[in-house]
Amino acid sequence: MNRAGVRLNNEEAKALGFEIKKKPKKGNPKYFITTKQQAELSRIRGEHLIIKGKSTLKDADGNLVMEWTKTEVDKETRLKAAREAIQALIENIKPVEPREYKMPIVQSELINQYTLTDFHLGMMAWSEETGADWDLKIAEEVLLNYFNYAITNSPFASTAIFAQLGDFLHWDGILAVTPQSKHVLDADTRFSKLVRIAIRVSRQVINMLLDKYQTVNVIMAEGNHDESSSIWLREMFSAFYENEPRVLIDTSPDPYYCIEWGDTLLFYHHGHKRNLNNIDTVFTAKFKEQFGRSKNVYAHTGHLHNMQVKETNLMVIEQHRTLSARDAYASRGGWMSGRDSKVITYHKRFGEVDRRTINIRALID
């Protein structure tokens, strides 16, 4: 049975028993391979293919003329390819020179957390339909206005946390769909443009934080909209600031993050895997040592876009609002949460000592 043409290199063609074809101008020559050869090819290439379905072509007498097998590379193989691509990207990144810290340290016991979740950069919303406009241009402006305003109006702590709690990017690849469920998303517009702006705006934010703080911790949490993109964001910024000891990037691939600040312990998770009901036990189990040493424990999540605070025997858990507008899906579904971001100040010994709420109206009116 024939399949559509597949490009093979000479070793692969030989292994599958073909006469080697002449190399065309671009890429490797195409061969028509059978389902059996496809399986052998996948074995050679170390891929695990999932059979998605079959199509057949029959002649007037009902004899099978041709058969196609629709296959898809499994998640692990795709992740492996993504990791290799990231590695290649990192190798080409030229790290920046360290910046000199000029600000006198006023309160070295304090850390300021800039909480940003579900920013949905690249989402497209139309105010007539959803109540507020949102696109790449608006989002970039809002984010820079937010950090400008929030940095100026927060205490003079020695250290900051850029707590980006996931869904920073609205979509995660060439197709504007959610990575797991493949729901079609309202997108503005090209993925390359989204990537460029995500990098540009994050760099600006980190540089703004470096002007005020001696040390900047960066959490780039995995969200359900940016499963893969959060990987390259973390790895790219880690490579980019490798010579800058004042920037600390958490590159953990496990979507649960932890920062220790004296006796105060801070946890972060997007909220797509675990929610307020039982996330406290997950954090405690994953970070037993840090938990054992700490006196004041706080956890932060996002994902559902509305505000909720819950105190358990183990910690205070807070689910945060977002600064982004709602998309048509959320608006039509009637999820109408308000829009703000909290700057929370933690003391090494006392835990939370201050918080500022930055309302979206302070940023766009």
What does the binding site for Mn ion look like in residue numbers (CB under 5 A)?
A: 167, 223-224, 303
Reference 302, options 285, 283, 324; nearest CA is: 324
Which CB sits closer to Mn ion, 179 or 351? 179
Count other C-beta atoms under 10 Å from residue 41's C-beta. 19
Q: Are 58 and 1 in contact (CB under 8 A)?
A: no
Strands in 157-164's sheet, in edge-to-edge order, are: 247-249, 215-220, 157-164, 107-116, 340-347, 351-359
Alpha carbons 343 and 315: distance in angstroms, whole number: 19
- Measured from the CB of residue 319, what is the shortest distance to Mn ion in angstroms? 11
Which CB sits closer to Mn ion, 294 or 319? 319
Which CB sits closer to Mn ion, 130 or 224? 224
Alpha carbons 232 and 157: distance in angstroms, whole number: 29
Which CB sits closer to Mn ion, 223 or 351? 223
- Measured from the CB of residue 321, what is the shortest distance to Mn ion in angstroms? 13
Beta bridge partners of 38: none
Q: How distant, in Å, are the alpha carbons of 107, 238, 257, 313, 348 from that of 296?
A: 19, 28, 16, 11, 9
Reference 170, options 98, 227, 237, 226; nearest CA is: 226
Which CB sits closer to Mn ion, 119 or 283? 119
Which CB sits closer to Mn ion, 142 or 169? 169
Expressed in angstroms, the distance from the first to the final Cα of the chain is 64
> Which alpha helices (H) appear in 180-287, and where do they start and end?
191-212, 229-240, 279-286
Which CB sits closer to Mn ion, 118 or 188? 118
Q: What SS3 state is found at 32? A: strand
- Measured from the CB of residue 123, what is the shortest distance to Mn ion in angstroms? 12
Which CB sits closer to Mn ion, 122 or 223? 223
- Measured from the CB of residue 122, what is the shortest distance to Mn ion in angstroms? 14
Reference 337, options 349, 345, 325; nearest CA is: 325
- Measured from the CB of residue 329, what is the shortest distance to Mn ion in angstroms? 12
- Measured from the CB of residue 22, what is the shortest distance to Mn ion in angstroms? 50
- Measured from the CB of residue 327, what is the shortest distance to Mn ion in angstroms? 12
Which CB sits closer to Mn ion, 159 or 301? 301
Count other C-beta atoms under 10 Å from residue 70's C-beta. 10
Alpha carbons 270 and 262: distance in angstroms, whole number: 24
- Measured from the CB of residue 235, what is the shortest distance to Mn ion in angstroms? 21
- Measured from the CB of residue 279, what is the shortest distance to Mn ion in angstroms? 14
Q: Give the nearest residue (CB) to Mn ion.
A: 303
Reference 238, options 225, 226, 227, 253; nearest CA is: 253
